Structure formats: C-alpha cells, structure tokens
Amino acid sequence: MAASMLCRRTAMLCRTLKGLSCSKTVLFADSESGLLLQTASYNPKPLKLNIREPYIPDKDSEKTPEWQKTGRYDKKLFGRYGSASGIDPASLWPSHEKLDKLIAEEHEWHPPLEVMLKNIEAKEKVESEKRLAKEKLIAANMAKMPKMIADWRREKRDTKSKLKEEKTRRAKLLAEARQRFGYAVDPRSPKFLEMVAELETEEKKKKKLMKRRLKEEQAAAPITPPASL
C-alpha cells in the first residue's frame, strides 16, 4: 500500500515538472489522497516605450487629473521622453524663492565646519557651566549637612517627647475616668469625650485664674526707683 502511494506521488511530481518545462497549465487531482496541484507559468512581454506618440496630458482640459498638471509630473515626462515631451527644461528649474529656501535649509542642516566647531564649543561651555553650578550646589548642601542632621534629630526627639506626653495624658485620663465611673471606659465613648471636654474647660479656667493672680501680684509689688549714679 505504501509503495503504491509513493509511486503515484512520484508520477504526479514528474508530470508537474514536465508541464512546467512545456510552459502549460497543469491540473492534477488524486482521488485517494485528495491532493490538488495546480501550477501556472507566466512570462509577460516587456513594456515598450512609445517615443513616437508619447502621452502628453492637456492641462487646459477638465478631464485631465490635477496631479498631471503639476510641475512634478512635468519633470517626470521630461525625464521619460526628453524634448519629445514638449516641456521647456528652464521651467523645471526651481525659482529664486525656492533656491533661497533650499540654501537656507542646507545651511541649517549641513553647516560649514567652522560653524559646527563653534556650536560644539558653545555646547561644551554650557555643559561645563551646568556642571560647575551643580558642583557648587552639592558643596553648599554638604556644608549644611551637619545642621540638617542636627535639626532632624531634634525634630525626632521632639516628636518622641510629644508622643510620650500624649500617651501619659491619655493614660491619666483613662485612670481618672475609671475612678469617676467605677469601670474601664472606652476612649471613643461619649462619656469619656464629655469628661475630657469638661477637664479641658477646667484646665483653661485654672490657667486664666493663674494669669490673673500673677498680674495682680505684679501690680501690687512696689516699684523700686532706679539707683542714682
């Protein structure tokens, strides 16, 4: 079975190659394997340039496309047909404005060597100034570093001290609330918050009273005259 299948495929390949050599279309189908092979050979003839009767579009006609009325298409026609196109070569030369634009673009994108060297020197100068400014800034910051570290450590100590004071105050308030109510109170409960507000009000009153007494004592104290020289 395998040998017969191999023979059929070999015969099919030979027929295909023979058809290609004869430049004909070959169509072969194998009913058992379901294989369909189709090949085609195509050898087109080269296009010939008609110089005797070239196609020159009529620019005054409305049927002529707009892209065939441009100067770019005129250049294409002159390059293909030469003088047979009927196009004046002088009309294909760029105008003075376009030449000036091209020269300006050339100077911008392809400057002379002297200009390039000057640009490189100016760029290096700017980079050097930036580097020096950065080095000065780093040196100034490094000089401030000890003070910055000391300030950071002081702020850290103050923060710890405030947290410790707040913790002590909170524990004191909880102890006072336990003593007042006879049981442990949740610090988020309304009772505890009311007690804290009441204690803060009393503390403010005490501070005001202390300030008033201090002022009264200062006013009642005798004023000693300045010693005569």
The pLDDT value recorded for residue 36 is 44
Distance CA 21, CA 2 (A): 29
Indicate the pLDDT class of residue 41, thresholds 50, 70 and 90.
low
pTM for the model: 0.35
Distance CA 19, CA 22 (A): 5
Looking at the structure, do residues 164 and 194 belong to the same domain, yes or no?
yes
The pLDDT value recorded for residue 157 is 93
Token pair, residue 220, equals 């009642």
Distance CA 48, CA 54 (A): 11
Residue predicted with more confidence, 131 or 227: 131
Average model confidence (pLDDT) for the chain? 79
pLDDT in tens, 162-193: 999 988 888 888 888 887 777 777 878 887 88
Indicate the pLDDT class of residue 121, thresholds 50, 70 and 90.
very high
Instruction: Report whether 47 contacts 28 (CB < 8 A).
Output: no
Looking at the structure, do residues 199 and 165 belong to the same domain, yes or no?
yes
212, part of any domain: no
Distance CA 118, CA 97 (A): 29
Report CA torsion sign: 18, 22, 28, 33: positive
Residue 81 structural domain = 58-93
Looking at the structure, do residues 27 and 72 belong to the same domain, yes or no?
no
